[in-house]
Amino acid sequence: MDLSYKVNESYAEITAAGRLNMVSAPKLREMVAQVVAAGSSRIVLNLEQTAFMDSSGLGALIGCLKAARQAGGDLRIAAVQPQVQMVLGLTSMDKVLTSYPSAAVAFSND
């Protein structure tokens, strides 16, 4: 999985490309920890290029959400692909991690 991030005016956007699984989940957790440590607690995870997520990836999302909230912010997901949305729906995590059509609108109403 390739991870990159950029800091926008009111949030940091992390782009994840590849499979979010047991191999890449620790990388995502580490990236979010670095972004939070750098002072950005409002994070959008852009999943447009993430076509697959397993239970390890789901655990990473939950851990990242917790890290952002403990820092006084929030983690939101954007451009979620069908398989990832299915995993979120089957586990009812779609109620906790609301999906937005794009990263640009994830924090637009705040």
Ranges of the chain with pLDDT below 70: none
Check whether domain 2-104 has CATH 3.30.750.24, yes or no: yes
DSSP conformation class of 38? T
| Helix, strand, coil percent values for the chain (each to nearest 5) | 40, 30, 30
User: Hunting for tokens 């990832």 — which residue is that?
Assistant: 84
pLDDT of residue 68: 97
| Domain boundaries along the sequence of the chain | 2-104
Residues 97, 79: Cα–Cα separation, whole Å: 12
